[in-house]
Structure 1
């Protein structure tokens, strides 16, 4: 640590610490978003899925209200996930502590990055306790040591890292919008038949469908877990279940690993989670992360869906995201509670209105650019993430000083 830096006990550098542990709010399906430990991940607060009633808000938040710019820290299961609050109209759940640095002493944004750093994480873990579930007590958190340059340099460090994070978040938002555009077109054409309202319609087992369309089952559209060859021990791209995204199609993290068995796939395939709770959470991915003609492999806990000849691979991905199809897939699950699986034959029996083949070709032409832009956004985020993860420990330790660093130059590399 540079000589002119100071080390503070966290409690001495805080203006505010808000802790709602020991209280459980009454949850509702709408209202004030509830920030729980489950949605604080990778430096951001993800979209809340739990709420408390507006009428309960003031009665619940008696220990203090968060402000924009405060840091939220998960205290157990897991310990050490952090994020910055960007909307103060939220409620705080258990296993979350909110921290606000003293102005002129500790920048809250800098604190976030310090806690994300290896030094910060190690100091948190060193103070955790417990057996089955480990966590950190408020009394121990208050004693945590934080290494700080001047307040001005803290702010500058946080600005550099938050600029990179903002670019990453912006790309994620763009990718989500592009996928929503593809899904909207899929729904208009193949679910609502909105583009064919002036056509003749005919009665079918699925209700009224455009004349000339046929009711078929999913097995007429895809090959399920198609055969591909990989030699045992061969190093291949591996995609495990946990990296399948929930709300965007593209995988961002893969590794090279020796093949010992598993589901095999190639670019253009769709990976569809077949077990609870992964399927219920929406884990699905479009395979666009392999090099030309490469074969990858992964968990047998996802199904590989490959478009048959003349069927749109993008349409296959879109149907995998269709709520009706997902609900049907969940209904085919069998097995013990908490470990149920989709069954292949019922899965393939899902009924679909099949249009003339040219509609698949036209759909490809409409959405291909969306899928390509999404992949470019993922690639850019991989580069940005690597840059941030390289810079974070160096800036937080003082190994790289601001006078030696130019962000614009680094972003152009």
Structure 2
């Protein structure tokens, strides 16, 4: 096994991603990769797969591996030239490489690729690169299989939701009178009548003691691509959380992103708090949980409209959010639906927890492989 020292610029060439607004999306097969996740699909691509992408703006340094051709968004840097290195190894190298300290932005951090170019790094030969990548890929393959199961479970639950509450093929629909498209017994209500709406808040960052490892503190980046945000970038201390006791969320609350990136919806699995970009619903009745989860996921365009006030950043404040109207089916139907899809979500939570353990095991191995502590 041979390792050598070289400059970052001699390892790979990074290129800034390309502008593409959501309004410009044309449905197609090519993923549009943002700084945190796949943000949608387009009918054109800008880079050949396999691809490696890292966050350039907003979320620094998050590495993503894309198998096929893709569109790297302008919030990212992507590898334009691997310079003879193994692409999958490059992905793991960047996962392990601390890029966040090389940001050059202010309020919204920005990764400076010119600064990266001059950094000295240590890299093994191609054969060793492939061996390291193959070992770590075994973990990622398990994670990917679990993700596919999670996706299928969510799609199955979503299908039932649409059958019952969109197509109105709920149990007993044949005997239910429907007037103006509304089944008898269903009522028009508002979000605030379904539960208490809590807008999050950030404890003072000037007081270091407000932060620790006690209470998960959910922010929008934690909500991407998950139903249950099991891992948060930041946690509060008990002291910090208790400075805003009215911001605690119990398990089985619904969190909805309402500023800037609106329409992300997650469910709490433990006591936590959120920042001010998230409005949450502490439901009056837990039997309404999964109906409200899918209902909130279905109002993304409404939230964008409600939150658009001529400013550049979409903002759905608490008053606007809690006064959103929605149709509430009868409690008996909501309870039947909740009981029916509960096993789906229990499995999703179990698979999500398993994935977190796999990621932890992979990351521990990653640092040892990349340092040469473990030889392959």
Global fold match (TM > 0.5) = yes
Residue matched to 1:112 = 91
The answer (yes or no) to whether the contact 1:176–1:248 under 8 Å persists in 2 is no
Residue matched to 1:363 = 337
Q: Distance in 1 between matches of 2:185 and 2:164?
A: 14
| Within-5 A mapping of 1:202-241 | 202-203=178-179, 207-225=180-198, 236-241=214-219
Residue matched to 1:28 = 24
Report whether the alignment pairs 1:276 with 2:262. no
Q: Distance in 2 between matches of 1:92 and 1:98?
A: 10
Residue matched to 2:272 = 296
SS at match of 1:198: helix
CA-based RMSD:
3.9
Deviation at 1:330, TM superposition (A): 4.8
Report whether the alignment pairs 1:184 with 2:159. yes
Deviation at 1:400, TM superposition (A): 1.7
Residue matched to 2:360 = 386
Residue matched to 2:317 = 342
Task: Please give the per-residue CA displacement for 1:85-123, whole angstroms capped at 9, x wherever unaligned.
Answer: 3112x34565634244455xx3222222223224x638x
Q: Which of 183-192 and 155-164 deviates more?
A: 183-192
Residue matched to 2:251 = 267
Deviation at 1:216, TM superposition (A): 4.0
Q: 1:220 to 1:91 in 2, by over 3 A?
A: closer
Q: 1:182 to 1:244 in 2, by over 3 A?
A: farther
Deviation at 1:396, TM superposition (A): 0.6
Q: Which runs of 5+ in 2 are unaligned?
A: 200-209
Task: Please give the per-residue CA displacement for 1:184-203, whole angstroms capped at 9, x wherever unaligned.
Answer: 21222123202355334332
SS at match of 1:365: helix
Deviation at 1:223, TM superposition (A): 3.5
SS at match of 1:316: helix
The answer (yes or no) to whether the contact 1:201–1:208 under 8 Å persists in 2 is no
Task: Please give the per-residue CA displacement for 1:325-377, whole angstroms capped at 9, x wherever unaligned.
Answer: x444555548783263334377346141422x321221122101111111112
TM-score normalised by structure 1 residue count: 0.70
Q: Distance in 2 between matches of 1:251 and 1:329?
A: 21
| Within-5 A mapping of 1:312-351 | 312-323=288-299, 326-333=300-307, 337=311, 338=313, 340-344=315-319, 347-348=322-323, 350-351=325-326
Deviation at 1:265, TM superposition (A): 1.4
Q: Distance in 2 between matches of 1:212 and 1:121?
A: 56
Q: 1:84 to 1:270 in 2, by over 3 A?
A: closer
Q: Which runs of 5+ in 1 are unaligned?
A: 227-232, 403-413
Residue matched to 1:85 = 66
The answer (yes or no) to whether the contact 1:306–1:316 under 8 Å persists in 2 is no
Residue matched to 1:230 = none
Q: 1:93 to 1:215 in 2, by over 3 A?
A: closer
Q: Distance in 2 between matches of 1:383 and 1:24?
A: 36
Q: 1:236 to 1:212 in 2, by over 3 A?
A: same
Deviation at 1:382, TM superposition (A): 1.6
Q: 1:264 to 1:213 in 2, by over 3 A?
A: same
SS at match of 2:79: strand
Report the structure number with the largest CA radius of gyration: 1
The answer (yes or no) to whether the contact 1:307–1:313 under 8 Å persists in 2 is yes
Task: Please give the per-residue CA displacement for 1:246-305, whole angstroms capped at 9, x wherever unaligned.
Answer: 4432112143522211522111211223x3213x2x2222111x2xxxx43333443332
Alignment: residue pair count: 355
Report whether the alignment pairs 1:172 with 2:147. yes
